[in-house]
Amino acid sequence: MIHTAICELLGIRYPVLQGGMAWVSDASLAGAVSNAGGLGIIAAMNADGDYLREQIRQTRALTDKPFGVNIMLMSPYAPDVAQVALDEKVPVITTGAGLPSQYIRAWVQAGIRVLPVVPSVAIARMVQRMGAHAVIAEGGESGGHIGELNTMALVPQVVDAVDIPVIAAGGIGDGRGMAAALMLGACGVQMGTRFLVAHECAIHETYKEKIIKAKDIDTLATGRRLGHPVRALKNPFTRAFYAKEYDAGVSDQELEAYGAGALRLAAREGDAQKGCFMAGQIAGLVQRRQSAAEIINEVTGQAETLLRGACQWVK
Amino acid sequence: MFETVVKVLADYKDLSPDDITAQSTFEQLGVDSLDTVELVMTLEDETGIKVEMNEKLKTVGELVKLLEEGRA
Ligand SMILES: Cc1cc2nc3c(=O)[nH]c(=O)nc-3n(C[C@H](O)[C@H](O)[C@H](O)COP(=O)(O)O)c2cc1C
């Protein structure tokens, strides 16, 4: 059994978080992960407060265990969903795409555990000072919106820079990745891509099939030009986006507009042509559909075996 | 304070101090959002002042103002 400071902090059995994923992680997936002893996280994405309130209530109907809400700070509804999360007194909030300066104090005062996703040492230090309870250091291997550094380089540097627990994210898909993350100094892991194929994950079948079929080289990061790159499976949509990105005749606004709604098309409609199937580089390792509980048990069990065996190298 | 910011910024990004004015935007200076946070943390270490920053920080002058408010 692997037990770390994150288990204590969040009141969970296994130090495994299911990352908030727009159009993907709703009450069904989050509730299943929390029931399995990890931390399920509902994505507030770009939806309004009513959507989030409904998802929180559904999650509470599914589980009495702690769960989290992921708030995208760039969302036009961020102030609205920030308030809903506060009113509902959710146990945990993770934040993405920005600094939570405006909201963090109120959340912390309400007793909510706040875990910002951070792409750099300076941002980790800054959110620690704002009162964050832990940080999620997410490397650019991951699916969705990504930072510049990779997990291997980012995690130990963040661990050295802050006094609060660090959770590693990006490119972790099995017990080997989890064991490695712990060796880098993390107290837990957050996975996204691996949970895409969970039975309780309500995305379109085509999306799951594509993840299972994907190989190591099948993802591409696009949108660097817009300042917020996204990693997704290569398909007609990402290839066209990539071409437009390097076409000076296409304005930034046109490029943004071209990408809008593409994740929804992938997750809901399974649109192989126009959908943006966000996924991390670890997709090639994901081979089987399993329940959230099977995923968590397998990953933590393997990590435990590996860590126990690690002294074989030390003579 | 302005001088301190210019010195740290020029040093960090290999810029000529003469090219930095209060009106310079970070974008013009090639300082992206990650760099801006790095810059603020370096300045905090240097001055001992703690600032409350958010994404709206766009110019050198605004940063100087934030630091001066932090000192008060
Ligand atoms: C389809 C998809 C959607 C995502 N949406 C969000 C999001 O809305 N907010 C966020 O903070 N992170 C988002 N992420 C990142 C995940 O929460 C997680 O940190 C990441 O997937 C971890 O890396 P991995 O995919 O290599 O496991 C998303 C990831 C994927 C694959």
CATH 3.40.50.1000, applies to A5-202: no
ipTM associated with this complex: 0.81
CA end-to-end span of chain A: 25
What pLDDT sits at residue B32? 87
Asked if A91 and A67 count as a contact pair (C-beta separation under 8 A), the reply is: yes
Band of residue B70 on the pLDDT scale cut at 50, 70, 90: confident
Tell me which residue in A99, A119, A147 faces B54 most closely, judged by beta carbons. A99
What pLDDT sits at residue A315? 85
pLDDT in tens, A137-183: 999 999 999 988 999 999 999 999 999 999 999 999 999 999 999 99
Tell me the residues of A at the B interface, defined by beta carbons under 8 Å apart: 98-99, 101-102, 119-123, 125-126, 129, 147-148, 227
The rounded distance, in Å, linking the Cα atoms of A138 and A147 is 7
Where does B2-71 sit in CATH, by number? 1.10.1200.10
Percent of chain A whose predicted confidence (pLDDT) is above 90? 91
What pLDDT sits at residue A241? 93
What pLDDT sits at residue A243? 92
What pLDDT sits at residue A176? 98
CB contact B49 to A (< 8 Å): no
∠ at Cα A275 (A269, A277), nearest 5°? 100
pLDDT in tens, A252-262: 999 989 988 99
What pLDDT sits at residue A225? 87
pLDDT in tens, A101-132: 889 999 999 999 999 999 999 999 999 999 99
Res A204 pLDDT > 80: yes
Give the ranges where A63-120 is alpha helix by DSSP (H): 78-87, 104-109
∠ at Cα A160 (A155, A166), nearest 5°? 50
Rounded mean pLDDT, B33-62:
87
Res A313 pLDDT > 90: no
What pLDDT sits at residue A190? 98
Give the chain A residue nearest B35 (alpha carbons): A122
Rounded mean pLDDT, A87-108:
93
* Domain chopping of chain A, boundaries: 5-202
Band of residue A297 on the pLDDT scale cut at 50, 70, 90: very high
Band of residue A214 on the pLDDT scale cut at 50, 70, 90: very high
Has B32 been annotated as catalytic? Answer: yes
Mean pLDDT, chain A, integer:
95
- Chain B residues in contact with A125 (beta carbon < 8 A): 41
Size of interface A-B (CB pairs under 8 A): 31
The rounded distance, in Å, linking the Cα atoms of B11 and B13 is 6
Asked if A129 and A105 count as a contact pair (C-beta separation under 8 A), the reply is: no
- Chain B residues in contact with A227 (beta carbon < 8 A): 32-33
For residue A302, the CA-to-ligand 1 centroid distance in Å is 23
- Chain A residues in contact with B55 (beta carbon < 8 A): 98-99
What pLDDT sits at residue A286? 97
The rounded distance, in Å, linking the Cα atoms of A27 and A34 is 10
The rounded distance, in Å, linking the Cα atoms of A170 and A182 is 14
Band of residue A311 on the pLDDT scale cut at 50, 70, 90: confident
Rounded mean pLDDT, A182-188:
98
HEC per residue, A240-291? HHHHHHCCCCCCHHHHHHHHCCHHHHHHHHCCCCCCCCECCHHHHHCCCCEC
What pLDDT sits at residue A98? 84
Contact criterion met (CB < 8 Å) for B37 and A123: yes
Tell me which H or E stretch contains A167: strand A166-169
Total-model pTM: 0.93
pLDDT in tens, B14-41: 888 998 999 999 989 888 888 888 899 9
